[in-house]
């Protein structure tokens, strides 16, 4: 069912587990995520990035997400991931998203605060939760940009994070603690001590971006350290590719069956990450 994640996120923060956020990129992937969430009795964020929302069209993306969410009984938040501007966030809210992320992390702090406040003022009266980011999460997001690499990234400052949350009224914060988006040559160097300081300074749920490339033990440690939302994107695309390759290499050619094979691999990844997040059986 399509739902808000405000209360489930607070429950996760207090209960020592996380709610996973999974990126979808077409109807089959959205349905695979929702179906496995129901099988595992886990709340989930069904997320689409700003890049894909624009590519598909916001109304089409919203229809895909709603269809997948409404076919299951577990709570599913339809979430805009890495929205890069007010106009896109507003369009998603009007189209029926129950959660949006506004990513002003590349802006100076004052501008990030102003943008986030504007989105919160628009979204909250409509019952939509808002996530924001502070610091700099590098890497590759939807093959659009590549930043970070070997250079030093700007990590979240606990004092500024606390100021940001108090000033904006945001519901969930994604702090940069050394995490990166996309496939990486080695596991990111996460600053768990920084996470502890941010967790102590910030009274709202925290979100972990760039979950791909982090070991299972690393994810578990992040959850124990206070991350209440864990994002998964690239690994779902890899799973989709793996399912298609196996199907075609076995001689298959029927598109409908190919999509089922890819969906099955997506569901395996969803089940794995739900297990790591500790959210199975929470609804």
Within a domain: 260: yes
Residues contacting residue 113 through CB under 8 Å, at least 6 positions apart: 104, 164, 167, 168
CATH number of the domain within which 162 lies: 3.20.20.70
Q: What is the pLDDT of residue 154?
A: 73
For the chain, give the number of residues. Answer: 283
* CA nearest to 106, candidates 128, 133, 127, 83: 133
Task: List all residues 6 or more positions away from 217 whose beta carbon is below 8 Å from its beta carbon.
Answer: none
Query: What is the SS3 assignment for 162?
Result: helix
Active site residue 81: yes
Residue 137 lies in a domain: yes
For residue 135, count CB atoms less than 10 angstroms from its CB and return exposed for 0-12, middle for 13-18, buried for 19 or more: buried
CA–CA separation, 244 vs 264, rounded Å?
A: 10
Distance (Å, rounded) from C-alpha 47 to C-alpha 202?
24
pLDDT tens digits for range 112-125: 999 999 999 999 99
Backbone angles phi, psi at 141, to 5 degrees: -115, 110
Instruction: Establish if 228 belongs to a structural domain.
Output: yes
Asked whether residue 15 is domain-assigned, the answer is yes
- For residue 187, the enclosing domain spans 6-277
Low-confidence ranges of the chain (pLDDT < 70): 136-153, 179-188, 211
Q: Is residue 81 part of a domain?
A: yes
Q: What is the pTM of this model?
A: 0.91
Q: Considering the domain boundaries, does residue 283 fall inside one?
A: no
Tens digits of residue pLDDT in 160-175:
999 999 999 999 999 9
Question: Are the C-beta atoms of 133 and 109 separated by less than 8 Å?
Answer: no
| Other C-beta atoms lying within 10 Å of the C-beta of residue 14 | 10
Of the listed 81, 84, 103, 157, which one is catalytic? 81
Q: How far apart, in whole angstroms, are the C-alpha atoms of residue 270 and residue 24?
A: 11
Domain count, the chain: 1
Per-residue pLDDT at 153: 56
CA 256 – CA 97 distance, rounded (Å): 28
238 in a domain, yes or no?
yes
Q: Please say whether the beta carbons of 252 and 261 come within 8 A.
A: yes
In the chain, where does DSSP find H-type helix? Answer: 6-15, 27-40, 50-56, 58-70, 86-95, 109-123, 158-168, 192-201, 216-224, 234-249, 255-277
Determine, yes or no, domain membership for 1.
no
What pLDDT was estimated at residue 214? 87
């Amino acid at each position: 069912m399509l739902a808000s994640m405000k209360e489930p996120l607070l429950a996760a923060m207090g209960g020592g587990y996380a709610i996973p956020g999974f990126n979808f990129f077409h109807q089959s992937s959205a349905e695979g995520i929702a179906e496995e969430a129901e099988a595992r009795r886990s709340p989930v964020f069904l997320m689409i990035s700003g890049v894909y929302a624009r590519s598909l069209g916001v109304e089409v993306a919203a229809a895909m997400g709603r269809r997948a969410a409404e076919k299951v009984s577990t709570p599913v938040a339809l979430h805009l991931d890495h929205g890069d501007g007010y106009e896109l966030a507003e369009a998603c809210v009007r189209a029926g998203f129950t959660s949006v992320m506004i990513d002003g992390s590349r802006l100076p702090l004052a501008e990030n605060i102003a943008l986030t406040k504007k989105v919160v003022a628009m979204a909250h009266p409509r019952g939509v939760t808002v996530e924001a980011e502070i610091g700099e999460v590098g890497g590759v997001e939807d093959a659009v940009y590549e930043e970070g690499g070997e250079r030093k990234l700007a990590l979240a400052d606990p004092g500024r994070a606390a100021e940001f949350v108090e000033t904006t009224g945001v519901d969930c914060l994604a702090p940069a603690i050394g995490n990166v988006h996309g496939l990486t040559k080695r596991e990111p160097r996460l600053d768990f001590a920084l996470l502890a300081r941010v967790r102590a300074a910030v009274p709202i749920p925290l979100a972990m971006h760039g979950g791909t490339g982090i070991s299972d033990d690393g994810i578990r440690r992040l959850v124990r350290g206070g991350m209440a939302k864990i994002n998964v994107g690239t690994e779902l695309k890899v799973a989709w590719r793996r399912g298609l390759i196996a199907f075609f290499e076995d001689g298959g050619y029927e598109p409908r069956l190919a999509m089922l094979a890819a969906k099955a691999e997506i569901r395996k990844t969803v089940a794995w990450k739900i297990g790591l997040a500790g959210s199975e059986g929470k609804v």
